[in-house]
Structure 1
Amino acid sequence: MKVANLDPWPRTPEEAVALQDRLRTQIISSNPAPPRFHTIAGLDSAYDDDGNVVAAIVVLDAETLETVDTATARGTTDFPYVPGLLAFRELPTTLTAFENLTTTPDLIICDSQGLAHPRRFGFACHVGLLTGIPTLGVAKNAWGDYTMPDAERGSRSEITIDGEAVGRALRTRSNVKPVFVSIGHLIDIETATAQVLSLTPEYRQPETTRRADRLCRRLLAELAA
């Protein structure tokens, strides 16, 4: 599948912050058309201390949760580690993996933040803008304030930053720590929440994330070997 051109790509944290501030005005936190998600992609990326980056994408059938396509990529980065700017270390390699996909998914789920980000422009927002595909983030930890949702699966509470609602803490398994859902692009929070619940029939994390993470770990292990 094709993605937008990355040029010019920021070389410094200051340039990256400026780009996030400029692009966040383009985020659409709604569904322009009724959502029909037949295929859903999960993606994950990782890097080592030497600046090597690996990325993996797994596409599932939305109804059966069977894997229908996968793609991987390897790259390098010299962009510094700065909280809130991790996309600039990982995104170029992730987009190469997207270029290697033979399937164009209807929905993308990132193992990262979307609007729940200090500048309201996390990794999931960037992916959504560059692909033009509805995208959301499901993070393991919250960036913002929230109250713990009730213990039952499906319970949720609002995540806020400076009083602004930016996402939800969502209980995908009863009596298990929630995940943290936020909009990336071209989707609303209700639809995003429903999709995450449909992708967590057995585990805390969506099946998209679990399978992409497993593939990404294997790539990193091969790189280390």
Structure 2
Amino acid sequence: MNEHPPEWLHPPDLKRATAIQRAIADAVELADRIGPVVRVAGADTSMKWRDSRGPIHAAIACDDGTVGQATRIPPFPYVPGYLGFRECPALVAAWETLVVKPDLVLMDGQGRSHPRRCGVACQLGVLLDVPVIGVAKSLLCGVVDGVLGADAGSTAPLVDRGEVVAMAVRLRAQAAPVYVSIGHRVTLDTAVDWVRRLSDGRRVPPPVRGAHEAANAVRIAHGLAMEAENVDIL
């Protein structure tokens, strides 16, 4: 894992968190630095519905079937635009449980398509120093420039304050697009190419779907364990 100041995972307050996001954004590598890709993974988190203080359950699901997982109490309050500080401690812990690390990660979330160019995919990529692609299902900033075609494979740039920060990519005809952005150590063209290459014709690529399912499974297992523990205590 990349060396970084401890507060990059645990900022003391919102003001420092803002400054840290800008520092991480400056540390993001926008060029391709990817070795041979043998193992691809998806990364995602899950939490109990509307429970902003409860634990975050993270999963990094590799395409060989191995899953790194972790559950952590988020050290940072829920603030839109700062979700990386809630999710990354659990994601980093999940990464550390993997014996064999993936060569490329598709993160369910924003990368450069963020007001301060530091979505969770950027934070995770810089913290771990691994190639990460952001694959988001909704917009946080910017507008799609031009018309996105209805056919599978259609793309259109997402522009925020004059900068292309992501690409809207339709992976299934007529379905809503995903928004592909740079996380770390990939160009936008490379990120889009990988998402297309990994697509199986559904709206969301398999690595992201697999991570979503794995994170939900971690949350459910944790809930069942807590229920069993309470029953034993009673």
Common fold, TM-score beyond 0.5?
yes
Q: Corresponding residue for 1:64?
A: none
Kindly indicate whether residue 97 of structure 2 is the aligned counterpart of residue 100 of structure 1: yes
Of the structure 1 ranges 131-140 and 215-224, higher mean CA displacement relative to structure 2 is found in 215-224
In structure 2, relative to structure 1, the CA distance for the partners of 1:171 and 1:39 (3 Å cut) is same
Counterpart pick for 1:55 among 53, 58, 80: 58
Q: Give the distance between the partners of 2:54 and 2:5, measured in 1 at CA.
A: 19
CA contact (8 A) 1:86 1:123 kept: yes
CA contact (8 A) 2:2 2:126 kept: no
Q: How high is the TM-score relative to the length of structure 2?
A: 0.87
Percent of residue pairs identical: 33
Q: Give the distance between the partners of 1:220 and 1:185, measured in 2 at CA.
A: 27
Q: Give the distance between the partners of 2:133 and 2:147, measured in 1 at CA.
A: 21
Aligned to 2:78, what secondary structure does the other structure show? Answer: coil
State the Cα distance separating 1:199 from its structure 2 match: 1.6
Structure with bigger helix share is 2
The Cα offsets for residues 126-148 of structure 1, whole Å up to 9 and x where unpaired, read as 11111111111000012211044
Moved segments of 4+, more than 2 Å: 2-6, 222-225
Q: Give the distance between the partners of 1:42 and 1:151, measured in 2 at CA.
A: 26
The amino acid of 1:164's aligned partner reads: E
Cα RMSD for the two superposed structures: 1.6
The amino acid of 2:176's aligned partner reads: K
Kindly indicate whether residue 23 of structure 2 is the aligned counterpart of residue 22 of structure 1: yes
Q: Which has the larger radius of gyration?
A: 2
Gaps of 5+ in 1: 61-66
The amino acid of 2:14's aligned partner reads: P
Q: How high is the TM-score relative to the length of structure 1?
A: 0.91
Q: Give the distance between the partners of 2:199 and 2:59, measured in 1 at CA.
A: 20
State the Cα distance separating 1:92 from its structure 2 match: 0.3
Q: Give the distance between the partners of 2:159 and 2:82, measured in 1 at CA.
A: 20
